[in-house]
């Protein structure tokens, strides 16, 4: 149905060609070519008959075993998988223990265990490993259910059990195979057809990571039970392929994952493993891997890694990336041949340094083996990505001695895992994150207190949290009020070059608080950033507050403020960032401590504080307000300049 709808839109665009040829061309380029031929007959005829067929198959087996004999990265990650498998052997079997409303930690642990144990068994056929897999499968398949009220739990568990069956290639006891097949049907797939329970079904056509995780799990389960119930399997795979594009649309048009880099890792790894499963089982991913902007998202992922080792951690993103190689990103390397996406040095860390792998890294060994270097692209030093949560990034390039990094964003609070952070930014220089985003916090800690975390209405309790509302972000606030939750800020202008520039239209963010607002960020040198706000006030505007969030020490000066960090001692040397109040030197900046934070439930960040420049409407001549601040770093901090 979705394919027909896309084709219908394409025909309409051709009819309009004389009106807007350029728009037609753009539309033609963005049409997704998804095929979905699934019927029981198609499934029976085209599904690979022998196991393995989930990520692995006979052809892939030859590539994998060849690389295990010749490729240092594949050898190293496999040795790490073996080390992880050995550690799993020391653990007790899993129990159905929920944390709050979630069984997710158990499902994720099962997926991790099977990825480690299953890959080792497939390569080495060790009876001790097979015995352990047998015990793991029996333990979880005897659970009363897989917690369908929180379907992520079911999606991940279903994929784990499907992999266990497939990668052991029929070597498990018949009784265990029978138990697992029944569990996949009764506890995995069938609850997703219970339309009386919204929690069981809403994700099917959802636009966030749940779609990718749950539909991926359902496809894995369906392939595993295909011979047992081809009609249920075909219907479910068809439903999932129809559902996937609703999540993939969120990557468009440029590859930004609106939930942030951590959730890119979550949603995207389930997309790529699903693509790999479909390719290994049917010889095609039916167009999902080439969905518009999906592969482009690899650039987004790399650009979210900042010089300091942190993420640009907007939305519900974690703070710091792992020191280990990004095996999900390596899938994009395997498809493009681009070394930019293959973190070779990190992938070659010793197994003991790598430690615990991620739960789908067993499957990831396959696309590490499929990678063949063809090119090494340069990362753009100025980049923008539009979509539901627009982002722009400026860097100093690969040879920058200053480690320059700016990340700024638009969007609105209503995006998945979104905050009231339109117009906010982070800034790094000389190895320091000077301008800080407070990041995410543990969901269960909030939920167990009855906190209304997932309500996104304007007056939701969610926005009282420091890291969710606008008062914890480096943006503007008007009248000391919250941003308008559904007021989406967009990219109005973008310029590349030696001094890149991006402008965000913040007018919808402040609807009813002022008439219009634009925020422009300019990299005016290799150690500085200019932030300029052009605002038109109205009768509702009482006060405009310019905000900068930092965790470092601050000294208020006649010119604005100085942020500083003592590098080696309390005396010298000291790294500094000068906050130059260019437009309003007569109004003194001030500092508000956010450590401890305003609410007991807020995430506490050591040293967190907000630098403010408050401009009352009585200080504004006419209706136009121009706020201009320059952040200037040091070219040689060791010498004090």
The two three-digit tokens of residue 231, written as one number: 């009609």
pLDDT surpasses 80 at 41 = yes
The two three-digit tokens of residue 481, written as one number: 């009020």
The pLDDT, as a whole number, for residue 568 is 63
Domain membership of residue 9 (yes or no) is no
In the predicted model, what is the mean pLDDT of the chain?
A: 94
Domain membership of residue 13 (yes or no) is no
Percent of the chain topping pLDDT 90: 91
Residues 124 and 88 reside in one and the same domain: yes
* Banded pLDDT at 31 (limits 50, 70, 90): low
C-alpha 294/C-alpha 240 separation (Å) is 17
Side-chain-side CA neighbours of 415 within 13 Å: the count stands at: 28
Domain boundary among 342, 370, 398: 370
SS3 476: strand
Residues 340 and 401 reside in one and the same domain: no
pLDDT surpasses 60 at 4 = no
Q: With CA atoms as reference, report the closest residue to 149 among 187, 179, 182, 180.
A: 187
Domain membership of residue 16 (yes or no) is no
Question: Which residues lie closer than 8 Å to 622 by C-beta, 6 or more apart?
Answer: none
The pLDDT, as a whole number, for residue 636 is 85
Full DSSP string of 221-267: HHHHTTTT-HHHHHHHHHHHHHHHHHHHGGGTTTT--TT-HHHHHHH
The pLDDT, as a whole number, for residue 569 is 61
The pLDDT, as a whole number, for residue 541 is 97
Domain membership of residue 10 (yes or no) is no
C-alpha 273/C-alpha 265 separation (Å) is 12
The pLDDT, as a whole number, for residue 5 is 40
The strand pair at 560-566 and 609-616 is best described as unpaired
The pLDDT, as a whole number, for residue 566 is 78
The two three-digit tokens of residue 213, written as one number: 């995780």
Residues 118 and 204 reside in one and the same domain: yes
pLDDT in tens, 513-522: 999 999 999 9
Give the full edge-to-edge strand order of the sheet including 476-478: 476-478, 543-550, 609-616, 590-593
Number of neighbouring beta carbons within 10 Å of residue 58: 12
C-alpha 284/C-alpha 289 separation (Å) is 9
Domain boundary among 335, 370, 405: 370
Residues 474 and 613 reside in one and the same domain: yes
Residues 564 and 434 reside in one and the same domain: yes
Asked if residue 189 lies in contact with residue 225, where contact means CB atoms within 8 angstroms, the answer is: yes
Residues 192 and 312 reside in one and the same domain: yes
Q: How many domains in the chain?
A: 2
pLDDT surpasses 80 at 170 = yes
Domain membership of residue 15 (yes or no) is no
The strand pair at 432-435 and 574-581 is best described as unpaired
Q: Which residues is 307 bridged to in the sheet?
A: none
Residues 189 and 279 reside in one and the same domain: yes
The pLDDT, as a whole number, for residue 32 is 74
Can you give the pTM of this predicted structure? Answer: 0.93
Residues 447 and 563 reside in one and the same domain: yes
The two three-digit tokens of residue 583, written as one number: 């437009």
Residues 365 and 395 reside in one and the same domain: no
What average pLDDT does this structure show over 144-172?
A: 98
**Angle at the Cα of 106 from the Cα atoms of 102 and 108, rounded to 5 degrees:** 100
C-alpha 471/C-alpha 348 separation (Å) is 42
pLDDT in tens, 337-389: 999 999 999 999 999 999 999 999 999 999 999 999 999 999 999 999 999 99
C-alpha 408/C-alpha 521 separation (Å) is 8
Residues 112 and 149 reside in one and the same domain: yes
What average pLDDT does this structure show over 17-34?
A: 46
Greater confidence (543 vs 567) lies with 543
Residue range(s) defining the domain that contains residue 365: 32-370
Residues 438 and 335 reside in one and the same domain: no
Q: Which residues is 296 bridged to in the sheet?
A: none
Q: At what angle do helices 361-370 and 261-282 cross, to 10 degrees?
A: 70
Domain membership of residue 583 (yes or no) is yes
The pLDDT, as a whole number, for residue 8 is 38
- Count helices and strands (H / E) in the chain: 19, 17
C-alpha 528/C-alpha 601 separation (Å) is 35
371 phi/psi in degrees, rounded to 5: -75, 135
C-alpha 426/C-alpha 531 separation (Å) is 12
Domain membership of residue 3 (yes or no) is no
Asked if residue 139 lies in contact with residue 157, where contact means CB atoms within 8 angstroms, the answer is: no
**Angle at the Cα of 337 from the Cα atoms of 335 and 343, rounded to 5 degrees:** 100
The pLDDT, as a whole number, for residue 570 is 59
Asked if residue 392 lies in contact with residue 523, where contact means CB atoms within 8 angstroms, the answer is: no
Domain containing residue 525: CATH number:
2.70.98.70
The pLDDT, as a whole number, for residue 15 is 36
pLDDT in tens, 238-297: 999 999 999 999 999 999 999 999 999 999 999 999 999 999 999 999 999 999 999 999
What average pLDDT does this structure show over 66-86?
A: 98
Domain containing residue 181: CATH number:
1.50.10.100
pLDDT surpasses 60 at 12 = no
Domain boundary among 318, 348, 370: 370
Q: With CA atoms as reference, report the closest residue to 167 among 132, 119, 227, 113.
A: 119
Domain membership of residue 376 (yes or no) is no
* Banded pLDDT at 3 (limits 50, 70, 90): very low
What average pLDDT does this structure show over 156-161?
A: 98
The two three-digit tokens of residue 161, written as one number: 């059990």
* Banded pLDDT at 14 (limits 50, 70, 90): very low
Cis peptide before 253 (omega within 30 of 0): yes
C-alpha 433/C-alpha 564 separation (Å) is 11
C-alpha 520/C-alpha 534 separation (Å) is 8
Q: C-alpha distances in angstroms, 143 versus 157, 175, 415, 629?
A: 11, 16, 35, 59
The pLDDT, as a whole number, for residue 572 is 60
Question: What is the 3 state secondary structure string of 132-177?
Answer: HHHHHHHHHHCCCCCCCCCHHHHHHHHHHHHHHHHHCCCCCCHHHH
C-alpha 327/C-alpha 294 separation (Å) is 16
* Banded pLDDT at 13 (limits 50, 70, 90): very low
* C-alpha torsion angle, residues 409, 415, 420, 421 (rounded to 10): -10
Residues 621 and 510 reside in one and the same domain: yes
Asked if residue 92 lies in contact with residue 138, where contact means CB atoms within 8 angstroms, the answer is: no
């Amino acid at each position: 149905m979705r394919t027909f709808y896309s084709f219908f839109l394409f025909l309409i665009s051709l009819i309009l060609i004389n009106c807007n040829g350029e728009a037609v061309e753009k539309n033609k380029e963005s049409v997704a070519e998804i095929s979905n031929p699934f019927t029981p007959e198609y499934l029976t005829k085209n599904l690979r008959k022998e196991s393995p067929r989930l990520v692995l198959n006979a052809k892939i087996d030859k590539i994998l075993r060849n690389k295990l004999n010749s490729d240092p990265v594949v050898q190293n990650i496999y040795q790490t998988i073996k080390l992880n498998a050995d550690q799993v052997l020391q653990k007790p079997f899993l129990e159905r223990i929920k944390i709050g409303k979630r069984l997710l930690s158990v499902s994720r642990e099962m997926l991790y265990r099977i990825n480690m144990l299953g890959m080792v068994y497939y390569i080495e056929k060790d009876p001790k490993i097979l015995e352990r897999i047998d015990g793991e499968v029996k333990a979880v398949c005897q659970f009363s259910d897989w917690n369908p009220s929180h379907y992520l739990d079911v999606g991940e568990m279903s994929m784990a059990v499907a992999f266990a069956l497939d990668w052991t290639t029929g070597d498990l006891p018949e009784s265990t195979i029978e138990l697992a097949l029944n569990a996949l049907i009764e506890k995995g797939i069938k609850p997703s057809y219970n339309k009386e329970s919204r929690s069981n079904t809403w994700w099917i056509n959802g636009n966030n990571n749940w779609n990718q995780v749950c539909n991926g799990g359902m496809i894995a389960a369906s392939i595993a039970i295909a011979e047992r119930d081809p009609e249920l399997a075909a219907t479910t795979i068809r439903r999932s392929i129809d559902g996937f594009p609703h999540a993939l649309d969120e990557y468009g048009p440029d590859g930004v994952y609106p939930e942030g880099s951590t959730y890119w890792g979550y949603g995207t790894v389930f997309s790529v493993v699903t693509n790999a499963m479909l390719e290994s089982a049917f010889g095609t991913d039916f167009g999902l891997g080439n969905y518009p902007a999906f592969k482009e998202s690899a650039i987004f992922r790399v650009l979210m890694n900042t010089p300091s080792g942190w993420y640009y951690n907007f939305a519900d993103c974690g703070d710091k990336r792992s020191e280990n190689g990004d095996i999900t990103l390596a899938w994009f390397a395997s498809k493009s041949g681009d070394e930019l996406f293959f973190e070779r040095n990190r992938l070659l860390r010793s197994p003991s340094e790598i430690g615990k792998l991620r739960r789908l890294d067993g499957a990831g060994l396959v696309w590490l083996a499929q990678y063949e270097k063809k090119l090494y692209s340069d990362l753009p030093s100025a980049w923008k990505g539009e979509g539901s949560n627009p982002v722009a990034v400026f860097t100093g390039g690969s040879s920058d001695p200053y480690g320059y990094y700016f990340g700024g964003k638009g969007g609105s609070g209503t995006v998945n895992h979104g905050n009231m952070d339109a117009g906010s930014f982070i800034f790094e220089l000389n190895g320091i994150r000077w301008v800080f985003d407070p990041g995410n916090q543990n969901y269960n800690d909030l939920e167990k207190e009855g906190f209304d975390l997932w309500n996104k209405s304007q007056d939701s309790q969610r926005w009282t949290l420091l890291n969710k509302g606008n008062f914890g972000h480096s943006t503007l606030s008007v009248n000391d009020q919250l941003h308008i939750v559904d007021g989406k800020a967009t990219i109005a202008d973008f310029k590349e070059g030696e001094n890149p520039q991006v402008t965000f239209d913040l007018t919808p963010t402040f609807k009813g608080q002022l008439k219009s607002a634009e925020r422009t960020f300019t990299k005016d040198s290799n150690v500085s950033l200019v932030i300029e706000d052009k605002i038109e006030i109205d009768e509702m505007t009482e006060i405009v507050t310019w905000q900068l969030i930092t965790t470092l020490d601050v000294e208020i000066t006649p010119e604005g403020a100085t942020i500083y960090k003592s590098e080696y001692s309390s005396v010298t040397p000291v790294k500094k960032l000068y906050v130059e109040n260019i437009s309003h030197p007569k109004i003194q900046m001030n500092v508000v401590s956010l450590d401890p934070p305003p609410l007991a439930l807020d995430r506490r960040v050591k040293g967190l504080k907000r630098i403010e420049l408050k401009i009352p409407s009585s200080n504004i001549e006419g209706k136009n307000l121009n706020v201009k601040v320059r952040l200037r770093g040091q070219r040689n901090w060791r010498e004090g300049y």
